[in-house]
Amino acid sequence: MIALLVLAIAVLVCGFVIFYGLPVAEGLVPMLSAAQQQNLPLLESLFSAVIFGMLLVCALVGGVLCRVNPLRPGAKPAKMALIGLAMGASGICVAAAYAGIHGSLFRGAGLPREAGVLLWGVAIIFFQAATEEVYFRGWLQPVLARRWGAESAVVAAALAFAALHVMGGARSPTTLVNLFLGGLLFGVLASYGRGIAGAVAAHFGWNATEQILLGLDPNPGFGSFGALLDLELSGAPSWGGSDEGLNASVAMTIALLALIVPLLIMARERKAPAAPSA
């Protein structure tokens, strides 16, 4: 009952942050100068600071109330971070490659921004990804695991993670499936590593590669901070040719499953008792 209550509170808090954080950030925009109001990287940074800042505070407070450390990096954090980063970056590249094989991936005409803006964009993406992982895999998942066990906690936290993005505007059924699978990937990494280092790195690697390296989000065009490459997706929505891009594609589904299945096997083998010696 306690775990179910925490899960409900976590989802409700997400809704509160989405629906009330956005107006708070919008209310701060008139305080900027006219030039600053036209500065897209500055505006995105402002909205990220408000919305994700609120989510981070909620996770830290929740951790204190539930007696868990939502910032715990886990066992061998450097190793898990490298594994997670490699999985996240390679996963989105594989998804893009599948879309390219299908004929849905094209080079855009946009120009990248200067290096300083790109690096600032990387920092903002890290803050966003880390905050979501602190909230879902640092706070919520360990609390649920104490009551329901690790497997059920990973699934429940992944469902809550998908629910957050539904509140943020995700609509396609394929997008929701992919968000759930992404939540499973990050959740298994957190459970396997007994902390958030691997999950944060994988989430960051996925988002930074998609947005800053490849320029695939948003689709078409690229984000406020620019991109090293400006790749576009068009054609069948099931292969990324919609405004939800790869998030709504079976290419991402395939890539996520290719990452999750081996990781689940590794996690189960780690839990399995050693065979008795002869």
Confidence band, pLDDT 50/70/90 cuts, at residue 267: confident
CA nearest to 215, candidates 80, 112, 74: 112
Confidence band, pLDDT 50/70/90 cuts, at residue 271: low
∠ Cα 171 41 17 (to 5°) = 45
Give residue 278's pLDDT.
36
Q: In the predicted model, is pLDDT for residue 67 greater than 70?
A: yes
CA nearest to 80, candidates 205, 201, 198: 198
Let me know: does 95 contact 252? Beta carbons within 8 Å: yes
Residue 137, SS3 per DSSP: helix
Mean pLDDT is highest, among 98-102, 113-117, 164-168, for 98-102
What pLDDT digit, counting tens, does each position of 181-227 carry?
Answer: 999 999 999 999 999 999 999 999 999 999 999 999 999 888 999 99
The pLDDT > 90 percentage for the chain reads 77
Give me the residues paired with residue 105 across strands.
233
Mean pLDDT calculated for residue range 118-134: 97
Mean pLDDT calculated for residue range 51-61: 97
Give residue 209's pLDDT.
97
Mean pLDDT, all residues of the chain: 92
Mean pLDDT calculated for residue range 28-50: 95
The pLDDT > 70 percentage for the chain reads 95
Mean pLDDT calculated for residue range 130-146: 97
Does 218 sit behind a cis peptide bond, omega within 30 degrees of 0 on the bond before it?
A: yes
Which residues does 185 contact at the CB level (< 8 Å), separation at least 6?
87, 91, 202, 256, 259, 260, 263
- Tokens 């929740």 belong to 62
Q: What's this model's pTM, rounded to 2 decimal places?
A: 0.94
Give residue 159's pLDDT.
96
Q: In the predicted model, is pLDDT for residue 274 greater than 80?
A: no
Q: In the predicted model, is pLDDT for residue 277 greater than 70?
A: no
